[in-house]
Amino acid sequence: MNKRLYYKLQLKELEKIQKMEDKPRLLLHSCCGPCNTYPMEYLSEFFDLTLFFNNHNIYPEAEYQRRFAELLKYVEWFKKENNVVIDVVQPAYDNESYYELLKHRADEKEGGKRCTMCFALRMKEAMQYAAQHNYDYMTTVMTISRHKNSMVLNQIGERLQRSYPHVKYFYSDFKKDDGYRKSIQISRKHNMYRQTYCGCQFSLNVRRSLEAYRKERHETSTK
């Protein structure tokens, strides 16, 4: 199944939901404020939303808390502006266990198997929570990111649904229909903090190495 077909499934499912008498409950895995903006606005029309901030990958803890605070600030504004109820669930932060599970892939490039494993760990935790608390649907905002492969994310969701048959995975590609541009516009309007690396210690190390390289080149060129 290609990316375009997942987007078609997204639209097809929303057509069904629009015909329902009551809004179904959806657990939305949210990784940060900027990525959450457009998907939350888009989905709140069709679902009774709960946000699930399970992002043990984010390092250091100060960065984790900053991203969570930015998410909460926007959610509170959105709730008051639109007179809606949106709960936010925050499981206990556990970066140590996450690091132990993925450290053997520390040297892999961004976007490879380490990242896929990271997505799967967090999405599985969200699906487990959705099943335990009787949600109708579960999905992730991560398909809004141009740095993440929506096909990989939807394939993970598809596999999870087989293990949790009472929760329906909501296929998505939130980048489509100008979604990515809209998320940028919203985050700029609200002057939101936009992180410069994905979140994990491995991606932070890559970022720091790149910055050190650029600094060294600049210093060499100005001598």
Q: Does residue 70 have a pLDDT over 90?
A: yes
* pLDDT value, residue 11: 97
CA distance 76 to 54: 19
At 27 the pLDDT is 98
Distances 206 to 67, 106, 201, 202, 213 between C-alpha atoms, Å:
20, 10, 9, 7, 11
User: 213 falls in which pLDDT band (50, 70, 90)?
Assistant: very low
Lowest model confidence (mean pLDDT) among 88-97, 131-140, 148-157, 199-208: 199-208
> For the chain, what percent of residues have pLDDT higher than 70?
93
Give tens-digit pLDDT for 147-190.
Answer: 999 999 999 999 999 999 999 999 999 999 999 999 999 999 99
Indicate whether 5 pLDDT > 80. Answer: yes
Burial class (CB in 10 A: 0-12, 13-18, 19+), 166: exposed
pTM of the entire structure?
0.93
The per-type count for the chain, helices as H runs and strands as E runs, is 8, 5
137-140, strands of its sheet edge to edge? 87-89, 48-52, 25-29, 137-140, 168-169
**pLDDT tier, 215 (very low <50, low <70, confident <90, very high otherwise):** low
Between 24-33, 130-139, 149-158, 198-207, the lowest mean confidence (pLDDT) is in: 198-207
Assigned CATH class of 3-221: alpha beta
Q: What's the whole-number mean pLDDT along residues 111-118? A: 95
Q: What residue segments make up the domains of the chain, in order of their start?
A: 3-221
